[in-house]
Amino acid sequence: MLYLIDSANLDAIRTCCEFYPVAGVTTNPTIVSREKSDFRELLLALRQIIGPERMLHVQTTATEAEEILREGEMIRSLVGDFYLKIPITREGLKATTMCKKHGIGVTMTAIFTQPQALLAARAGADFVAPYINRLDNIVSDGVRVVEEIVEIFTKYSIPTKVLAASFKNAEQVHKVAITGAHAVTINPDLFDTLIYHPLTYYAIDDFSKDWEMAYGDKKVSDLLG
């Protein structure tokens, strides 16, 4: 399972890319609006920070297919190959097929049900982005929805990948990993939560104390250099 950063905060993305195995960045209009930046400059900076290899998913704000395609082409001319996030609507499905014909990658977003995901896949979407926490918030089961989307795609040998989104805690991420979803996109803080365990720190502390008892302040490199 791949990890993407669900943020447009340049400092946070830079830090995550330095320390974590990050496969890309996803944004949406809400995330972008928080940065209060020039949109063009923000996109250019995002691409510059993550480099050409990592995936960039940027959402359209257009609601009609032709305009969605136009936005996709404009964003591509700025950042190179990327995935246009298109919310699942009738126009969005039409736009997905059009974008694919024009060689633009598509992530169909705001997915809350299995039938939405299957239709998005049949329209040619590269990724579907089901929203876990927003489903959990309304006493639905986000992980179960992802599980069934993965099952359906596998059953019909559908190449569309599942990029699970909208997480609030590590347990949701862990449960989605078990479903076989291709990727998750999470906020920068959640990366730190995912690697945290107090026993890890106790273990590291014990290793240091035992080493010091035997070798004082000498490091491995001092002893082998």
Residue 132 has which token pair? Answer: 């876990």
Q: How far is the CB of 132 from ligand E4P (least distance, A)?
A: 8
129 or 181: whose CB is closer to ligand E4P?
129
Give the nearer residue to ligand E4P in terms of CB position, either 189 or 212.
189
Nearer to ligand E4P, 6 or 126 (CB): 6
Buried b / exposed e along 121-150 (16+ C-beta atoms within 10 A): bebbbbbbbbbbeebbeeeeebbebbbbbb
* Cα–Cα distance, 211 to 225 (Å, whole number): 17
- What type of residue sits at position 18? E
CA–CA dist 30, 102 (Å, integer): 27
Alpha helices in 80-131 (DSSP H): 90-101, 114-123
CB of 206 to ligand E4P, least distance (A): 38
The active-site residue, picked from 85, 94, 100, 175, is 85
Question: Is 85 considered catalytic here?
Answer: yes
Residue 127 near residue 162, CB atoms below 8 Å? yes
Checking phi first, is residue 220 left (phi over 0); if not, alpha (psi -120 to 50) or beta? alpha
Kindly tell me which of 61 and 133 has the beta carbon lying closer to ligand E4P. Answer: 133
Binding positions for ligand E4P, rule: CB under 6 A: 6, 26, 28, 109, 129, 131, 133-134, 165-166, 185
Whole-angstrom CA distances from 131 to 47, 127, 128, 165 are 25, 13, 10, 5
The nearest distance, CB 157 to ligand E4P, in angstroms, is: 25
Rounded to a whole number of angstroms, the minimum distance from the CB of residue 11 to ligand E4P is 19
Q: How many residues comprise the chain?
A: 225
CB of residue 140 to ligand E4P, shortest distance in Å: 13
By beta-carbon proximity to ligand E4P, the closer residue of 193 and 211 is 193
What residues are annotated to the active site?
85
